[in-house]
Amino acid sequence: MRFLTIFSAFAAAERSAISQEFEATSHRHVDLAGENATLVLATQADLLDMQKVMLQHIEKVNLELQETIKSTFKALDETVASEVQQMQDRAQFYLEQTYAMLYTLQVSEWRLQMAARHGTHGRCCCQATSMSSCEWVDHWLLVGHERICPAHVGKDYLDHFTDRMKAKAQNELTEDQVAPLNRLVDSCRESPAWQEQARSADSGPEVHLQATAFTVHL
């Protein structure tokens, strides 16, 4: 009985010592790294402030990204626009050159057409007093057995050219006063009688091409 009393007293003393030690240590700061430190817990306001700062940072980065994308696309657009313009210029040049070649071939065909009909369907007659005033005269309006040009419209364009070349050789005319044969032919082609002749031909009327400004869209 005495032993139990002594054991109970010892146990009570032990519990009292442990309790006192716990109370003493509970008032000290938490040791985080071998030294006493203070543990501070974030409040709801702190979290909201942090969220605000993070959102502002994200917005700033997003704006910088948008500016970078915009400047990059602007540079790309300028490069593409420059390349497209160069392609348009090359295409424009090619079309203009092609048009000029086709027009030259067309005019040559018209001149050959008139030369082929000259003498059989009529004549190209030029005024003797003019450098290149010529007109087409249909066959039934020609004069005499040789079917020559009427006097009031001049003479055959070949004779007209020959006469003026002789006058040039005799220094009666300057080189600028002698029109080339093609110019005489073109003068005849522009006359109403030739246009009517061309319309009645199987090939149809002449189509006078006009200089065209080409625009290329890519």
Distance (Å, whole) CA 97 – CA 90 = 11
Predicted confidence at residue 161, as pLDDT, reads 93
Given a cut of 80, whether residue 214 has pLDDT beyond it is: no
Instruction: Tell me the three state secondary structure of residue 194.
Output: helix
**What local confidence, expressed as pLDDT, does residue 56 receive?**
82
Mean pLDDT of the chain: 76
pTM over 0.85: no
Strands of the 122-126 sheet, one edge to the other: 134-138, 122-126, 155-156
Mean pLDDT value of segment 123-147? 91
The pLDDT of 164-177, averaged and rounded, is 90
Query: Across the strands, what pairs with 126?
Result: 134, 155
7-11, 51-55, 170-174, 198-202: which has the highest mean pLDDT? 170-174
Token pair listed for 60: 């700033």
Contacts of range 89-92, beta carbons closer than 8 Å, 24 or more positions apart: 91/216, 91/218, 92/214, 92/215, 92/216
Classify 134 as helix, strand or coil: strand
Residues 42-70: what's their mean pLDDT?
Answer: 79
Contact 99, 212 (CB under 8 A): yes
Q: How far apart are CA 197 and CA 187, in angstroms?
A: 15
Whole-Å CA distances, 209 to 11, 97, 191: 127, 15, 17
Q: From residue 43, give the alpha-carbon distance in Å to each of 38, 50, 178.
A: 16, 11, 107
What is residue 165's predicted lDDT score, i.e. its pLDDT?
Answer: 93
d(CA 181, CA 122): 17
Q: Which class for 26: exposed (0-12), middle (13-18), buried (19 or more C-beta within 10 A)?
A: exposed
Q: What six digits make up the tokens of 182?
A: 């093609």
Answer for the pair 37, 28: CB distance below 8 angstroms, yes or no.
no
